[in-house]
Structure 1
């Protein structure tokens, strides 16, 4: 079963909690249109009150790879060449200048991985990450973090660069935000709390005549564990002040080190205006507890047309997305 998500046709969503996912992508500063090439996470309820920006908290779940529905391709694939810069546009509720992007409490790291499409065992290679880059000056302060001190103030923009001389072919860019505001608890011990992961995958077709192949990487699930210091971490600590709190003073970004073939620096790119809908305001399917419900919404009520089971099923060979209008 392949699940489609409708484009904007009815009233606006009313989302809860300042969570986030990628709404659009700029290629070397030029907008490619809202939602194009992005494997948008599944909606967790019917229109108009379901939402697709929930976190993944179980690092042993298949959803940690590309989020719920991440195994399903989308019609649009982004054509890039080595050296191109992709600017990912994260948002909470809408792709607008006034959107809050993500809650101000969601301090944490931002990461980017690259894998051939489809992924295989140990195929995800880290090409960029940033975590806590400045300690707090006050006792138990949170310091400065990639999510809340850089991406959020830039209205959701996060830059990732295609590695030099990368061999052509289909790839998945796995971008991720890790929010740590409840990570002093472990999800496997307290499912109400724990670190919040926001993985999102983007379909790429790399062109050119590069010859560099990705090295062995990591698998998702498998790359993270609940006891990792970058997953189980008390965010409200400081190394610049004396505190009696038994909490860590440094943050170790989870996963492998950044691949030596990736760019050492990813500089900001000036982006142009965005285009397309500012939010998805209607959808045809939603997933709750592994059950897919199909239906429609007429602005007043939801009409259910059927249900089926959803179990992530990744292809073993590349399936070229079928373009649609």
Structure 2
């Protein structure tokens, strides 16, 4: 097959930038923003929140890193509602962009019926796909490219007739820029919702996540750099759920027990939110003791707000701080009647965002054979290593360490070392350079770089290089996960 002359250039550009990843950061219901991070399970570490999921066999595949832990809020949606998902390259700054242009690939949205949107871990059987899009041959664009065109948004409709109750909603992006090297990069997150519906239908079959995709499948090893791609693109995962042909009567027991939303509601005396935290109005007071008690309680809530702030930031916490300072000032001025502006809504005015219309799925053949939804067992949390480790272990050790050259493209092995590379000093078990624990700990190849605590000596220098590259990046990040 003829290879485009520009493809190697694009691939090299992709391999030379760092940290151009993405995160599902905000949910819109029928055009209404639910708030930054509200109702969404997110990674706890903002520094790595936009990284791809490290393994297709990891429990992180269900709802992302730390996604087995539910959040306090559950958003309400109607049958047939349009849901829009906002992706961000920087979780706390939507103006920066959504995802790097090099991260080309398909998108999908899955649902899972659960008894509790907060307590269910998300892993295991029960997932079904309601929408997907791969490569639009008529437009000549991948779904992720359309996402960029729409300022980081994609929209889908909730199928009519579904059984009401609690669901996890899981948007998914798959970046294929390194898929031909054995590194498909999935980005997934889950929103917790309550579906208001009189319907009774659920799909006949569902899939298990993790387990619905694997390495070396046509969809996860697809080469996007070929001048003539092997189209049509074979979508990963099952076929899209079609109510008219795939529905069955839902679980009657759940229908009886889930007539009304009882979890994840915002308290009636909440006056501001930040992610899934609610600022609760202070009790009224009219004396000095009551005033200073309110101040103490206010600052305690402020601490909780910052402690629980998601990667999308703490702007609501700053507003709440202003309220606490007002109370302090009033107490200091011997004005003991308060709190000031009692029950005033402190949430900022929501900025109107132009959202794309929900489009019909452009689904593939659903090459995965879905398991029966009757299977309720949760698979063990294991990590995929076979395909990639085979590649790493096939690397021959050099006879003379002086023959090693420093990696300029982020890979290691076959005479190429990570030591001294701007990508990081550690050579992972999969043959890629980096400086995090994922590269430098278990499976690290000391023949082609440093391992364990050794990399800490140069960590500051690498962080400086990475920050510089982020500021001037061109093309895209093909940051190869270990």
Give the structure-1-normalised TM-score.
0.66
Q: Which has the bigger relative contact order, CA under 8 A and spacing at least 6?
A: 1
Unaligned runs of 5+ in 2: 1-17, 115-119, 245-272, 276-310, 316-435, 439-482
Q: Is the 8 A contact 2:112 2:169 kept in 1?
A: yes
Q: Is the 8 A contact 1:174 1:202 kept in 2?
A: yes
How do 1:182-197 residues align onto structure 2 when only pairs under 5 Å count?
A: 182-186=178-182, 194-197=183-186
Query: Cα RMSD (Å) of the superposition?
Result: 2.7
What SS is found at the alignment partner of 1:228? coil
CA distance in 1, matches of 2:85, 2:172: 11
Instruction: Report the equivalent of 2:401.
Output: none
Residue 288 of structure 1 deviates from its aligned partner by 6.7
User: Deviation string for 1:70-112 (max 9, x for gaps)?
Assistant: 1111011111111001111111114656322111100000110
Instruction: Report the equivalent of 1:68.
Output: 65
Structure 1 position 211 matched with structure 2 position 200: yes
User: Deviation string for 1:187-228 (max 9, x for gaps)?
Assistant: xxxxxxx01000111101111311112332111111001021
| 2:166 paired residue among 167, 170, 173 | 170
How do 1:13-162 residues align onto structure 2 when only pairs under 5 Å count?
A: 17-43=19-45, 50-94=47-91, 96=93, 98-117=95-114, 118=120, 119=122, 121-134=124-137, 143-148=140-145, 150-162=146-158
Residue 122 of structure 1 deviates from its aligned partner by 2.9
Instruction: Report the equivalent of 2:189.
Output: 200
Residue 135 of structure 1 deviates from its aligned partner by 7.4
- Bigger Cα displacement from structure 2, 207-216 vs 124-133: 207-216
CA distance in 2, matches of 1:104, 1:261: 35
Instruction: Report the equivalent of 1:252.
Output: 234
What SS is found at the alignment partner of 1:113? strand
Q: Is the 8 A contact 2:27 2:191 kept in 1?
A: no
Q: Is the 8 A contact 1:24 1:31 kept in 2?
A: yes
Unaligned runs of 5+ in 1: 1-15, 45-49, 137-142, 187-193, 240-246, 263-274, 290-325
CA distance in 1, matches of 2:179, 2:138: 18
CA distance in 1, matches of 2:176, 2:126: 26
Higher helix share: 2
What SS is found at the alignment partner of 1:103? coil
Higher strand share: 1
CA separation of 1:98 and 1:120: change in aligned 2, threshold 3 A: closer
Equivalenced residue count is 233
Give the structure-2-normalised TM-score.
0.45
CA separation of 1:30 and 1:281: change in aligned 2, threshold 3 A: closer
CA separation of 1:180 and 1:52: change in aligned 2, threshold 3 A: same
Residue 121 of structure 1 deviates from its aligned partner by 4.3
Q: Is the 8 A contact 2:84 2:154 kept in 1?
A: yes
